[in-house]
Every structure is written in C-alpha cells, then in structure tokens.
Structure 1
Amino acid sequence: MQACEVLIGKEAVFISMVADGHGGNGASVYCHKHMLDHFIEAAAGEPDAKSLRHAARSTFERLHREVLELDPPTTAGSTLTICALNPKRREITCAHVGDSVALLVPQSGDFTELCEDHRIETSARERTRLLAAGGAIAPASDRHGRPGGPLRLWPGGVAQARSIGDSDIGAFNDSRPYTSSYPFPACVRADVVVCSDGVWDALHHASVAAICRKAGGCTAGTVARLIVKASLQQRHAYDNQDGQIPRDDTSCVVIRIGEAETASDSLGGGCFWSCLQTRRRASGAAAPSASKAAAPASEFEGQTPRRDSKPAARACCRATPASGSDRTIQVEVT
C-alpha cells in the first residue's frame, strides 16, 4: 500500500497504490518497491490522462515480466491498483488487475466504480476468455472431494482472472490492466478510495461512500482508518484469529480532493497488516496478501492451494514528516 505526490512534466500528480499478494508476498513486495519508478519512467514527462493510461499499461506489463523472472523464482501473485490524480488538469486515471477496487466518492451524488470485475466467480467476460484459452474453471474441493467456495482457475487455483505474477498459471493469466480516466467531480470535495478485498468482502461500496461523507472534516488518513475499522467490525469470528486479527489483508488508501491544506492531509492510508509510506518527490528520484486454493474435483491435475500471505510486522499509529521536499509520512494501525 502506497501513496505519494510526484512531479511529472512539472505538474504535481498524486498516486495511490494497493498491491494485495497471494501465495506469498514476493509479487506484492516487488510491486511496492518498483511500481512508482516504472510508472514515472513510462509517463516520460507527459502528465495527461492518455499518457498516464499508457504508462500504467506499460508498468503493469513490465512488473509482471520482472516478477516472472525473479531469482530465486516465485509462484506468488498480486493484485495491483493504481490511481493517479492530476489537480491542474482535474483528471483521475485508474488502472488495475485483480479485486483491489477503487471508488470515486463525491461529497454528494452517486459514487463511481473506477475498476471492472476480475473475479472469476462474478465476471462472465473473464470466464469466457479463460475457457476459450483452454483453462479449467471449478471451485476447490475438500479432502472428501466435495466442491466449495468461489470458482477458480486451474491450474493454480486463483479466484481472479488477472494479476501480476502467478507463474504457475502460465498463459491463462492476463496482466493487462483495465484503465479508465474521469474528470474531477464538480462538487467541493471528493475522495478516491482504494481498498484490498479485505475491506470489500466486509463492506458494500455504498457503506464505504457513507463513511467518507460522514467524515467530511477529517484528513484522508483518518478516513482510511475509519474504513478499515468498520470492515474489521463487520467480520465474523471465523474470519479472524483470536477474534482480533483478520486472516485477509485489510488495507485502504484515500486521496482527498478539495479541502486539504497540505499534501499530508490529502494523502492517507489505514491498514491492519502493512504500513503506508507517503512521499513527495520529483520525477526520477528513487522510489521507496488471497486466494489460491485445493485442486478441483474435475478436469485439472490436483494442486494444493496457497494460503494468503501474511505481513511482516505491525506497529502503532505514527506520523513522521522529514525535513525538506522529501516528506515521508508513515501511518500504521494497530
């Protein structure tokens, strides 16, 4: 999870990212380390929406290729969602693979889903694509051979049709992102919210929009933490360890448009497992999980599913701005 303000072609661009790993954290960690540099390089100093969509497509393809070439190799995969806001041009550009969904929530009126559905269970278009390519789609099965849970792609056992990495899926996986651009809402304030499925499996989109609107006077970081807290409160006991720690990554990044006085007020994140680093830096500077399951009872060879990746550490809430233009703010939620 990451959010930052960068300069592209002498224009400020706010960028947020969520990468939710599965089958290990190799792919998500790689995306976190390299996405921003790859994206800025691919934008080539052109900050308009068309250029940023092209930069996102190039970045996703490059990250996917590099994860597949990691040494030592990994079969881990990751969702990836990027939102880039250009205040000068009043444009929002979003690109994603997987189910870390982004919403545009204006102060009033309808919210807008910035992503399309990549879950195999609910996307007829993705199921058609996978079947046409020769993939097998079936739910996982328990040790007695009884099917259960969402539809998955075999081999691999992933529940989403697009991701970064997932080398064991082979050519069936598609790393090409869905991209979209929108003008800023006409209202005074709006939020761009990006969350992992740990939030969306617990809260409806309308509920997240309601939290944003009720927290109108708060900073972006506070809004993100409220969303994470609400999602944790909605979870049932079997979704948690010891009634407190969610089994799935639960992350949220918010960029607030309109009323924030500083960059740190505009950018914020709350997460249960990982920390958010907010950096303000110029273009060219160095940049700072799920669902693999038991093989289906049907066509494809049996494979043991991979459990969601766990984070390395947790810490208390803190904010530490650095001096000068390289401002770093870390927000962590216990």
Structure 2
Amino acid sequence: MGAFLDKPKTEKYNSHGEGNGLRYGLSSMQGWRVEMEDAHTAVLGLPAPGMTNWSFFAVYDGHAGSRVANYCSKHLLEHIMSASFGNGGTQGSQTGSDSSASDPTTPPSVDRIKNGIRTGFLKIDEHMRTFSDLRNGMDRSGSTAVGILLSSDHIFFINCGDSRAVLYRNSHVCFSTLDHKPCNPRERERIQNAGGSVMIQRVNGSLAVSRALGDYDYKCVDGKGPTEQLVSPEPEVFDMVRAPEQDQFVILACDGIWDVMSNEELCEFVKSRLEVTNDLERVCNEVVDTCLHKGSRDNMSVVLVCMPNAPKVSDEAVRKDAELNKYLESRVEEMLSQPGEEGFPDLVTVMRNLSTDGGMPSLPPGGGLASKRSVVEAVYNRLNPYREEDGPSCFI
C-alpha cells in the first residue's frame, strides 16, 4: 500500500463555497503516491425539509485503491440522511417518541442524529459489500472517513479511521477527533477478540487503521457482527454545542497532513494565513504545499470551514508577511550573486542556509521556513540558469 513516484505530482484540486454563515475552502494533492486515493464532500444545505441550514463536510483517505473513498464521497451523506430522516432513522433511534420521526419538517434530536450517523456508516458498508469487485476480492480498497455535520446549534464530529478533525475555538484547539489505530487498547482488544493480532502497529501486520469503510478482507470473521470484526466500520460521533462568539474554524484533513503537523501547529498556521488573506483556497493550498515541503509522502487533502468569528485579515500581518517575503528574496539573491567554487548552490543548500539565518524575521507559526519555500524557489528559479528542474521537494 505504499508505492511512490520519482517526483511528486503537485497539481491541486481546489474548491470553495459560502452559505449558512460558513465559508469553506479545500485543497487536495496526489503528492508522492502513485495514485490519488483521497476524496471529499462539501454540502451547504441538506436536501431535506427543514434542513437547508445544515451543512456537511468530509474527507476520505482511501488505501489499496480509490473505489471506496470515491463512492463514499458521493453517497455517505444520503445513507446518513436516510437513517436520520427516513425509515432507517426511526429504526436507529433509541426512543420511539422522537417527534421528528412523524414530522419531517421538525429537525431530529441530537440522539437521533448520532444514531443516524452510525447507522448510515454501517448501511453504506453493508451496501458496498454487494459490489461484485469488492465482494470477489478484485478490489480490496478501503477508506477512512472524517466529517462534520453542522446545524445552527450543534457540530457533530464524525470519525472512522485516522483522518482527523479539529475545532479551533477562542484561539485554542478546543476539540480533536481520536485516531483509530490498532495499538489503541480498545481497538486492540476488538482485533484480538476477532482472532487477529497487532504487529508493527498494524492489523495482522498489514493495515495501519483499525476502523474503516470497505477493507472486506478484514470483515469476514464468522459469528462476529459488523462492529466486532478485525476492522470496524463504526464511527465515533461527538456532538458539541456551537459557541458563535468563540468558534473560529474547523479543519478536516487526512493523515498526509497530520503526519507532519500537530493539531496546534496546523491551527496556528491556518490562523496566521487567515490574517494575511481571506482566500480560503489559497490558505488550503499553502497548508498542502507546506506539508509536502515538511516531508509528507502521502496524498494530502484538507478542508477548512470558517465560522463567522474566524480570524480576519490584518493590515499589520499583511505588512509583516510582505516584509518577510522581501527579506527572503534578498537573501536568495545575495547567495546566488556570489557562487562558490562549485558554482551555484542547489535549492536544498539555499534552504538549509536560510534555516540557520539568525536575522530572519518571524516565520509563520506552525509552518516555519517550509511554508515559504515557494517564495524562495521562485527567486531561485529566476536567478539560477543552471538549476536542475526536478530537485528534492523536501529540504529537511
């Protein structure tokens, strides 16, 4: 599950939108992987009576192929909605007295939504098992899924696998979903009870996640239900009451992002970029580029959902960012104006020299010098006529 290219594919897919008091941007990049296996969903306004003020966002990180991730990106929301608003929702509800079960215009209760999300995951996993290529083993793909379902009052965090969602509230990381890794005690116990083992932090020494959609090779233990298999399709669902005066943004991302940036680093970096630009696609592109330059070897996808209280563009931040860019440009010009005996330094050497520059103005928090590699590279490419077209992408 880990073949790599000779050089990364850096073309990006971008999208953005606005509605329901939210703004979102997203970016995805294939990177060093031989195939793009990530997918995403972004829906402002759910197609159900009384639900136009609800929104849904998700990131899917596929493995062993893109089939499951792509199908879920198109159909998971319908399964959740069917379970929450249709007959499936009535069956999944813990209480038969939920008034929304009989009145489709009444928003469902928190418990019913949470049960509907869980039921939707189990239903789509059961449905995909009927696909001939997945059933006969011709396609062995699976996918993580991380998402948020937002109403005007609540945020439902949904996670199955090791992609992650974080909430930035009052200038702090307020909440993060929990990664489902085989070495987690509860996950390990389920795996062992199903007759499996955890070796080199993987299910049976092979799969690096303990919950996922698809992956039917790990869901065929006789006598065990769908949530008791080696790999479970059951999501963990958390609900939080929204705090309009404090909530700033939510980030959804696959592990290609989290492998090289912590929750705090990524949120601080996004905050610093939102103070420089209100173009959310640009912010997401900078996240993906920065993670590539920090050494991520995986597909990378990020969705940024900004609430009304998100950081605003600051004149001072814009000025400081421009000054930093100008400083970097002048330093690169200086290094390339006096080539040594071996000629022009390569880009990696330039970046390493800059990393030890004691006079450097403050770099973007969380992103560091890696987040400014494109600025350095632009000057380097302009001034060095002997550059190699395809040098290393990571300078660390």
Q: TM-score, normalised by structure 1?
A: 0.65
Query: Secondary structure in 2 aligned to 1:19?
Result: strand
Structure 2: distance between partners of 1:221 and 1:259 = 18
**Matched residue, 2:305:** 255
Amino acid in the other structure paired with 2:191? L
Asked if 1:2 corresponds to 2:41, the answer is yes
Once residues 160 and 124 of structure 1 are traced to their aligned partners in structure 2, the CA distance between those partners, rounded to angstroms, is 13
User: Deviation string for 1:178-224 (max 9, x for gaps)?
Assistant: 01000123535511111000000011111111023223352443332
Aligned-partner Cα distance in 2 for 1:78–1:95 = 14
Mapped pair 1:117 → 2:179: yes
The answer as to 2:174 corresponding to 1:134 is: no
Farther off after superposition, 11-20 or 221-230: 221-230
| 8 Å contact from structure 2 (residues 41, 74) kept in 1 | no
Question: Aligned equivalents of 1:189 and 1:81: distance in 2?
Answer: 19
2:78 paired with 1:37: yes
Q: Deviations over 1:78-132 (max 9, x none)?
A: 0011211112xx210011110110000124234311x2231114x1221122112
SS of match in other structure, 1:254: strand
Contact 2:254–2:300 (8 Å) recurs in 1: yes
5+ residue gaps, structure 1, are 140-150, 240-245, 261-334
Equivalent position of 2:356 in the other structure: none
Aligned to 2:142: 77
**Following the alignment from structure 2 to structure 1, what is the Cα–Cα distance between the partners of residues 282 and 41?**
16
Secondary structure of residue in 2 paired with 1:119: coil
Residues 101/55 of structure 1: CA separation in 2 closer, same or farther (3 Å cut): same
Task: Report 1:281-300 matches (<5 A).
Answer: none
1:305 — aligned with what?
none
Aligned pairs for 1:156-171 (under 5 A) are 157-170=206-219, 171=229
Q: What letter matches 1:4 in structure 2?
A: V
For residue 57 of structure 1, what is the aligned residue in structure 2? Answer: 118
Q: Output the CA distance in 2 between the equivalents of 1:222 and 1:51.
A: 37
Identical columns (%): 24
> Is structure 2 residue 59 aligned with structure 1 residue 18?
yes
Structure 2 unmatched ranges of 5 or more:
1-39, 86-103, 220-228, 311-396
SS in 1 for 2:195: coil
Shift of 1:133: 2.3
Q: Secondary structure at the match of 2:270?
A: helix
Work out which of the residue numbers 90, 97, 115 in structure 1 matches 2:160. Answer: 97
The residue number in structure 2 matching 1:207 is 265
Deviation per residue, 1:267-299 (Å, 9 max, x gap): xxxxxxxxxxxxxxxxxxxxxxxxxxxxxxxxx
Q: Relative to 1, partners in 2 of residues 1:110 and 1:33: Cα closer, same or farther, differing over 3 Å?
A: closer
Aligned partner letter, 2:158: A
Deviating runs (4+, > 6 A) in structure 1?
Answer: none
Q: CA RMSD in A?
A: 2.0
Q: Secondary structure at the match of 2:178?
A: coil
CA distance in 2, matches of 1:219, 1:84: 23
Q: Assess if the C-alpha contact under 8 Å between 2:173 and 2:264 holds in 1.
A: no
Aligned-partner residue type, residue 203 of structure 2: L
Larger Rg: 2
Deviation (angstroms), 1:166: 0.5
1:222 has 2:263 as partner: no
Q: Provide the rounded CA distance (Å) in 2 between the counterparts of 1:17 and 1:229.
A: 21
Greater RCO, CA 8 A, separation 6+: 1
Deviation per residue, 1:246-276 (Å, 9 max, x gap): 4x2100011111158xxxxxxxxxxxxxxxx
Q: Secondary structure at the match of 1:58?
A: helix
The structure-2 alpha-carbon separation of the partners of 1:51 and 1:210, relative to structure 1 and needing over 3 Å to count, comes to: same
SS at match of 2:288: helix
Q: What is the CA deviation profile of residues 49-72 of structure 1, one whole-angstrom value per residue up to 9, with x for unaligned ones?
A: 333212211111011112222122
- Call closer, same or farther: CA 1:202–1:110 in 2, change over 3 Å: closer
Distance 2:57 2:237 in 1: 15
Q: Which residue of 2 aligns with 1:181?
A: 239
Shift of 1:48: 4.4
Counterpart amino acid of 1:159?
A
Aligned residue pairs, count = 234
CA contact (8 A) 1:211 1:223 kept: no
Instruction: Note if contact 1:9-1:47 (Cα within 8 Å) is conserved in structure 2.
Output: no
Under a length normalisation based on structure 2, what TM-score does the superposition of the two structures give?
A: 0.55
Q: Secondary structure at the match of 1:226?
A: helix
